[in-house]
Amino acid sequence: MQPAHAAGRLLFIGFRGLTIADEPALAPLAAAGLIGGVLLLQRNCSSREQLQSLCHSLHELPSPHRLRICIDQEGGSVQRLPWHDMPSARDVAAGMSSDEAEALYEDMAHELKACGVDWNLAPVVDLDIDPLSPAIGAGGRSFGVNADTVSEFAGAFLRAHRKAGVKTCLKHYPGHGSAGVDTHEGLADITDTWRQTELLPYSNLLQQGLVDAVMPGHLLHRECDAHCPATLSAAHLRYLHEKLGWDGVVVSDDMQMGALSAFGSAESLMLQALHAGADVLLAGNWLEFDITLARRWNSLVQSAINQGELPPERLRQAIQRLERMFGV
């Protein structure tokens, strides 16, 4: 039997401010076991010293479990450390060897580790199918259109972070590179543009044993699931586990992004994602910090278990995967 606050282990939330004093609700949520970690964005990072202090304070918060700190530091258009400028994935692959890229990413990973970050939600392994794709191509976030190139440079990224002791995450399964919509704004239908080769970086990197976690995107592929984007789709996540052989952590993309706004409340969507096979749920709190979300989420999961709608084994499996990834 899991403790009453077990679902909180799976929720990673974003907040505003540069110190924990800027968001007084954090400490009570941590003490109650209602969150498993935090998602840091650029709004939380102003200097190396400030981030070190913030991460230390977060790790020291009383909690039934150690709070984990994640960030998405890719380089280029998506980087959260203003003092530590990194080139985009496209520029890295165009101008460096994979050995040079690994050295560059070692510098990134050691900086994150020194600041106290546990988990970098990167690299992007989407293929650069449409250079104008608003979420990927337009920002130079892909290492290239060729799956071998993407696998090579993503592998350098993963090895560098593993050396530094920072966990990583492949994204955005099953492939965001052809999408004509940025999922921050709306749902992306990739049915007619997606290619089977977009799965190759996942299978390549899984075979090398380099993967810590996989993030599905808010991507609709009607031939796999006519109704739900990958984040919410048991069919998509079953393919990831059964066909690609991934038995580790699945972490959702932000559950408060525009792509999911028509599907329901954040907590109901997180429950659907958990039921489908996701293990960690991200809620960035872009507009405001909603202190009640964590409590609503925990209550909803417990209610679903009590009513037989969610097998308790699914919750236990998610927690076990998370603990296995972090080695606790």
**Cα 116–Cα 169–Cα 259 angle in degrees, nearest 5:** 110
3-state secondary structure the chain: CCCCCHHHHHEEEECCCCCHHHCCCHHHHHHCCCCCEEEECHHHCCCHHHHHHHHHHHHHCCCCCCCEEEECCCECCECCCCCCCCCCHHHHHHHCCHHHHHHHHHHHHHHHHHHCCCEECCCECCCCCCCCCCCCHHHCCCCCCCHHHHHHHHHHHHHHHHHHCCECCEEEECCCCCCCCCCCCCCEECCCCCCHHHHHHHHHHHHCCCCCEEEECCEECCCCCCCCCHHHCHHHHHHHHHCCCCCCEEECCCCCCHHHCCCCCHHHHHHHHHHHCCCEEEECCCCCCCHHHHHHHHHHHHHHHHCCCCCHHHHHHHHHHHHHHHCC
Looking up residue 94, the CATH number of its domain turns out to be 3.20.20.300
The per-residue pLDDT for range 171-213, each reduced to its tens digit, is 999 999 999 887 777 788 999 999 999 999 999 999 999 999 9
Domain residues for 261? Answer: 6-326
Q: Which residues pair with 30 in a beta bridge?
A: none
Query: What pLDDT score does 1 carry?
Result: 43
Per-residue confidence (pLDDT) for residue 66, from 0 to 100: 93
Write down the catalytic residue from 118, 253, 254, 279.
253
Please check whether residue 66 is in contact with residue 54, taking contact to mean a CB–CB distance below 8 angstroms. no
pLDDT for residue 289: 72
Nearest 5°: CA angle at 82, between 77 and 83? Answer: 130
As for how many domains the chain has, the answer is 1
**Which listed residue (184, 241, 275, 290) is catalytic?**
184
What per-residue confidence (pLDDT) applies to 4? 63
Q: Is 1 a domain residue?
A: no
Q: Could you say which residues of the chain have pLDDT below 50?
A: 1
What pTM does this model have?
Answer: 0.96
189 is catalytic: no
pLDDT tens sequence across 217-241? 999 999 999 999 999 999 999 999 9
The answer to the question of residue 132 being in a domain is yes
Do the Cβ atoms of 249 and 321 come closer than 8 Å?
yes
Annotation marks residue 236 as catalytic? no
Q: What is the mean pLDDT of the chain?
A: 94
**Structural domain contains residue 146:** yes
Give pLDDT tens digits for 302-327. 999 999 999 999 999 999 999 999 98
- Sequence-ordered list of residues with C-beta below 8 angstroms from that of 51, at least 6 positions apart, any chain: 40, 44, 45, 81, 115, 116, 117
